[in-house]
Every structure is written in structure tokens, then in C-alpha cells.
Amino acid sequence: MIRKGSMKLFVVSVVALAVLAMSTAALASAAVTGAGSKVAGVVMPNWTNGFLIKEGITATYGSVGVEAGLTQLDARSVDFAAVDAPLSPQQAAACNDCAQIPLLLTGVDIAFRIPGVKALNLSGAVIAEIYAGKITNWSDPKIAELNPKARLPKLKITPVYSTEAGGQNWTFTSYLAKVGSKKSGATTTVNFPVGVGEPGDAGVGGKIASTKGAIGYVSASYANALDLTTAAIENRAGDFIPPEVGTFEAAGVTVKSIEPSGVVDATDPPKTAPKAYPLAMFSYAVVPRAAPQMGFVQQFLNYAVGPGAKLGEAFGIAPMPKAVKTAARSMIGAL
């Protein structure tokens, strides 16, 4: 015979277990969905796995490219999109009341293929002249002056650029606008007078790897994945800086505030940052302010810019600078 008190305890326990089971099932089915940037895509498996372990919430991400990701977000078939450049006015209008929030910090590498040359120093002025068609051979005196110990061959330079609209173009042209003679401003699409256009990081990186004399710009993650040889770039302090997580971070910490729109530009940092790489790049999460899964999206983004930032170093992703992380978390909370 079951006593009355024991029966009451049994009923309470069963109800508690049922509630716990329902809560667990709800969390398991609460998927945060995202799509877009292939740069962000390399670290997303680490983020989604870490988020599941920490919060018990599933998250999925499609590394489909920025344009496809934004298209999915515009149709509200995903909860957020990741992009590698600030939204254009047209993109912002199509997204219909979306916020762009700094998501990760990485860099754009200048990669090259010169037989017999494994280390190369380049300045912003020289890079600008190469892409303007004014420097056309690797034996040019302006390049030789920066590389007194290198045996630079008489070899035609083949500049390579991306035909896809994206953050690599935006970061590269933002940098050139600051250091070159032509102040044209940052843009996600390019039209250089010389060189070969290839689609995205994969196309640009592949062309560099297969072409003697080639030079081009790709995200750090792709440069690492393709084992491309990369140049050290002169910064405002006059030092030649390699593209590494630590030098991206050194550029990022020079950012003390961000625009209300969420835009961050860490290219060509001041000479007070002697270890900073000149082509640091921020990627962004684009989120509708009326996202159906808002609470879960906020949790995921807070994880990404916080503990998740440490999970990207193998892919050339640096820890988020304190000022940017603080601003990002404020923007996430205001969604």
C-alpha cells in the first residue's frame, strides 16, 4: 500500500520529470539557422558544436556565399546571414529592418607565386601601382628596394582579383584608397585596368597557385587552406608585418568605437600600432529586428563573439577586440 505522502511525492516527481523532458525537447528542436559568408563558414562547425554543448541548442549554417545568404535572409528562410563587408544601401533596403553586427575579425592576405622566392616585402604604394598597371615585372626597382636580399626574377606580374562582390574586395580597396594615389573609396566590386578576374577566394587562390608571377588577395583562411605563400605588408609604423592572428588582433584593438550602423574598418591602422597588419577584415551578422527565434539568435551571437572567438585561431580568425565586442553585445541586446 502506498502512503498518501509518498503518493504526493511520486506525482510531483513525475510532473517535474515531464516538464524537464518537454523543456529538453523544446531546446533540441530550437534550431538557429544561418547562411552566407564562406569566411565565417570555416569556423561555424566549431561554433555550432560548442553552442550545442554549452546551451543545448542546435544551430545550423549554410556556407553558400554572401549573396545567396542574403537572399535567404530576405525571404526569412534563415534567422541570420553572415557577410564580409558592410551592407550596401540596396542590400539594407532588401533586408527590411535588419541590423549588422560585428561577428569576427580576420585578415586579407596578399599571396604570390614567384619561383625561388619564399619571403616578400610589399608596401601599399607598390601594391597600388601593380594593380594600376604601373609596375609590371617582379624585377622592378621599387620592389627590389623593399627586398634587398631577395633574388627577384625578370618575370611578368599577373595581378589576380575577385569577380565576386565581397568583403575581400571591400577590405583591399579600403586599404588602397588610404595608401594609394587614387582615393576611390572601398567597394565590394572591382574593375582594375590590368589583371585576371576569378570567382571568390577559391578562384583567386587557385589562379595564384597555378600561375608563375601571380599576385592576389584572399582571406586568411583560404590562404592557409591552399598553403599559399604570402607577403609581409608595410604598415604605417614602417614595419613589414606578416598576416597572422596576432597581427590581425593588433590591428583590431586600434578600433575604439564603431559606427551606429555597426561598420568597423581596421585597415591601415595608425603608426602607434607597430605590430598591426594593414589589411584586417571584419565580418558581420545580419539579423532582422523581428526574428522569430530572437532569443536563441541572441544567445548564439553572444556565444560567437565571446567564447566562440577563441575557436577560430586555426582558421586565421582573431579574438574580438574589447571595444568591438562590447559594442556588438550591446547591439545584440538591442535587437
Q: Give CA–CA dist 158/300, Å, rounded.
A: 42
**Nearest alpha-carbon partner for 278 in 259, 257, 254:** 254
Q: Which domains does the chain have, with CATH numbers?
A: 31-104+283-333 (3.40.190.10), 107-252 (3.40.190.10)
Q: DSSP letter at 156?
A: B
Q: What's the pLDDT score for residue 184?
A: 66
Amino acid found at 139: S
Give the closest residue to 186 by CA, choosing from 98, 248, 258, 266. Answer: 266
Model confidence band, residue 194 (pLDDT cutoffs 50, 70, 90): very high
Q: CB under 8 Å to 89, separation ≥6 — which residues?
A: none
Supply the pLDDT for residue 183.
59
With a pLDDT cut of 70, the percent of the chain lying above it is 90
CA 120 to chain centre: 24
> What's the pLDDT at 159?
98
- Is the Cβ–Cβ distance between 162 and 204 less than 8 Å? yes
- State pLDDT tens for residues 60-117: 999 999 999 999 999 999 999 999 999 999 999 999 999 999 999 999 999 999 999 9
Going by pLDDT thresholds of 50, 70 and 90, the confidence category of residue 31 is confident
Residue 131 has pLDDT above 70, yes or no: yes
What is the distance between the alpha carbons of residues 43 and 143, in angstroms, rounded to a whole number? 35
First to last CA, the chain: 56
Which residues sit opposite 134 in a β-bridge? none
